[in-house]
Chain A
Amino acid sequence: MSTTKSNDTGALRPALRTAGALAVVVALLLVPAFTTQDVVFNVGSAVCAIVLALSFNIIFGYGGVVSFGHASLFATGGYVAGIALNNGHGFWAAMAAAGVVGAVVGALFALVALRASGIYFAIITLAMGQIVFVVAEQWDDVTGGISGLSGVGVDSVSLGFTTVSLPDADAYYRLVVVMGVLFVGAMWLLSKTRFTRLLRATRDDDVRVAALGLNVYRWRFVAFVWSSLFAALAGGLYAPLGGLVYPELARWDASAEPILATLLGGSGSFWGPVVGATVFALIDFFARDLNSLRVIITGAILLLVLLAAPGGLTSIRERVRRHRGKGQPATDTEKDVTAAVGGTDV
């Protein structure tokens, strides 16, 4: 059916798009060859921020509720992976532990917060995120308290048939790129499923979806757990990158970052958060010596986007296309619901 295609963002041909994606991955892998340690760390962090922003968009862009505590799930993943690695466990075990604990904590968040919606949901998740932050800051024996966990690192990664050693930060950075691409790919596949179409329908019109006999709460709960899983995996991936996990990663203002990245790029498209997180990373990097100006610039850009293009950067092209009379707006409850419920989807 042609309707299922309408959610795609671009008019780019698939082959061209695959080539473009490959080029980006290759470029990312080549970063250490041409730049400094500083840049490598920042690009690696940006990859983790992209995964975090995409994970946030599962619950925001598709689920329609704003989680203001997502950084605490990222941090949870970071702490769990850090503790596992520092206790001599391997990379895969650390990542698995990060994902599992993150999903469980996220399920707890969802159980409580999904009783409310709208602004109440946002504030409850903010409060729960702050609980994680305070625990991270004050449970000294386990988390290292204010100074955090240091010396987190990965020496080697087992691939079953062989073990690849990771002698330096550049090597781990390449692992971050590979894993990051895998996570993005997994979320992309998730975005193509019937599950996501239904979720999108709950966002656009939860009353109608409920009237169709679907349990909106359950769909959002599952979405939140998926979202938490990927947020925690991003955190787990991040921990060894700088070797340090610290409480501020969980604080509410860190939770604002994936939200802002998503809004900046646009929540209506899968790639919106990727664009937003990338732009944010660039702003952060180039404005890093400007101190106070950096915050002002970030705030001002956000204000501009909210006021001028409330749909985010990726919505601008959509609007131009619509203006020219080509194509329809990307989301449509009717289509999503019929495609998902009627079972005519791919």
Chain B
Amino acid sequence: MDQLLGAVLNGLTSGSIIFMFAAGLTVVFGVAGILNFAHGGVFMLAAYTAASILQRSSGSSISYLYAIIGAVAVAALLSVALEVLVIRRFYQYQHEYMLLGTYALLLVLEGSAEITFGVDAYFAPMPGWATNGFSVGAVFVNWYSVLVIVLGVAMAAGLVLWLRHTSSGKVIKAAAIEPEASRSLGINVPLVLTLVFALGGVFAGLAGVVLAPNQAIDLSLGSTFVVQAFAVVVVGGLGSISGAYVAALVLSLANSLWFTYLPGVPQVALYLVMVLILVFRPEGLFSVRKVTA
């Protein structure tokens, strides 16, 4: 029982982080129709930014605020710059070519990260309170996990509500569903696309800050996360935020349950479950083509 509870807790925690990362990918895919490898690079650079701020200030309280501001700013600006300078030119291509174009950007970002931050991993301190917590049976739940899970829920709910019920959310959906009609309604569609990338960058930045104290930040971070997040986005149904949230939790739970109960067997749960889901629902759990709540 305790073993199960521990596995579920781990699954929810890592699923929530993957969702924060995947949320940006989903919104960008839904609106711009682009599955963006470079998102992994943006996320990695945000995590590096956060970790290097925290490492330098050895974890004083105010430094966490600086880390959030720094990481979010870096990620959002970088995301916008990539869209305006490069990705914008890919919209006319087929999805597969866009995938490759953004992969090329990921390579450039990874190389740049190596030049800027070097090959040694960064470690960010965890704030003292986050390592405290409470016990459920024999399982210790720390506040960090609670915070991450709550943030994940809040972000999913916030995005869904925003897209469904606010006028700016409706404009974004309009631009996604009917770009030409939106233009004839006076909506600046290219600007909407750029803003959506900025939003994706903000999410990547937040995910980077949240992740930084929990894991060594190194050069493999971007590509590791981007592949898991692609799994989440595709399994959820491309463009569906609630789908991405469900998929992130399902895949991460599968992963941690497999890890707990089948320790000697190769850890293929995430990909295996993904493939199985796609065999039966080739367009994902919540199959929609455009961004929806």
Contact = CB atoms under 8 A, between A and B. Distances in A.
B271 A302 contact: no
Contacts of B271: 127-128, 130-131, 134
Contacts of A300: 104, 108
A115 to B, nearest CB: 5
A135 B266 contact: yes
A252 B100 CA distance: 13
A293 B227 CA distance: 23
B223 A253 contact: yes
Contacts of B279: 112, 115
Contacts of A293: 111, 115
Interface in A134-189: 134-135, 137-139
Given A131-B271, A294-B111, A295-B114, A122 B96 contact: yes
A1 interface: no
A25 to B, nearest CB: 31
Interface stretch (A26-34, A46-54, A256-264): A256-264
B95 A303 contact: no
Nearest to A263: B100
A66 interface: yes
A131 B112 contact: no
A65 to B, nearest CB: 8
Contacts of B95: 118-119
A130 B275 CA distance: 11
Contacts of B97: 263, 306, 310
B218 to A, nearest CB: 13
Interface string A254-277: 001001100100000000000000
B48 interface: no
B293 interface: no
Given A118-B95, A120-B278, A134-B271, A307 B100 contact: no
Contacts of A123: 35, 230-231, 234, 278
B83 interface: no
A131 B108 contact: no
Contacts of A66: 96, 99
Contacts of A299: 104-108, 111
B266 to A, nearest CB: 4
B203 interface: no
Given A118-B96, A122-B96, A127-B231, A139 B104 contact: no
Contacts of B100: 256, 259-260, 263, 302, 306
Interface size of B as a range:
35 or more
Contacts of A303: 86, 101, 104-105, 108
Contacts of A295: 107-108, 110-111, 114
A267 to B, nearest CB: 11
Given A115-B279, A131-B275, A303-B108, A292 B230 contact: no
A236 B132 CA distance: 53
Contact of A119 (B35, B86, B103): B35
Contacts of A135: 266, 268
A115 B282 contact: yes
Interface string B70-92: 00000000000000001001100
A211 B173 CA distance: 35
Contacts of A263: 97, 100
B274 interface: yes
B181 interface: no
Nearest to A306: B101
Contacts of A256: 100, 103
Interface string B219-234: 0000100010011001
Given A302-B100, A310-B93, A120 B282 contact: yes
Contacts of B266: 134-135, 137-139
Contacts of A124: 234, 275, 278
Given A118-B95, A120-B234, A126-B227, A302 B275 contact: no
Interface in A67-106: none
A291 interface: yes
Nearest to B266: A138
A116 B94 CA distance: 16
Nearest to B29: A119
Interface in A285-330: 291-296, 298-300, 302-303, 306-307, 310
Contacts of A137: 266
A253 B224 CA distance: 10
Nearest to B264: A138
Nearest to A137: B266
Nearest to A301: B104
Contacts of B283: 116, 120
B272 interface: yes
Given A124-B278, A295-B108, 4 more contacts: A120-B278, A256-B100, A259-B100, A303-B101
Interface of B: 35, 86, 89-90, 93-97, 99-101, 103-108, 110-112, 114-115, 223, 227, 230-231, 234, 238, 265-268, 271-272, 274-275, 278-279, 282-283
12 contacts: A66-B96, A115-B279, A119-B96, A122-B99, A127-B278, A130-B271, A291-B114, A292-B112, A295-B110, A299-B106, A300-B104, A303-B104
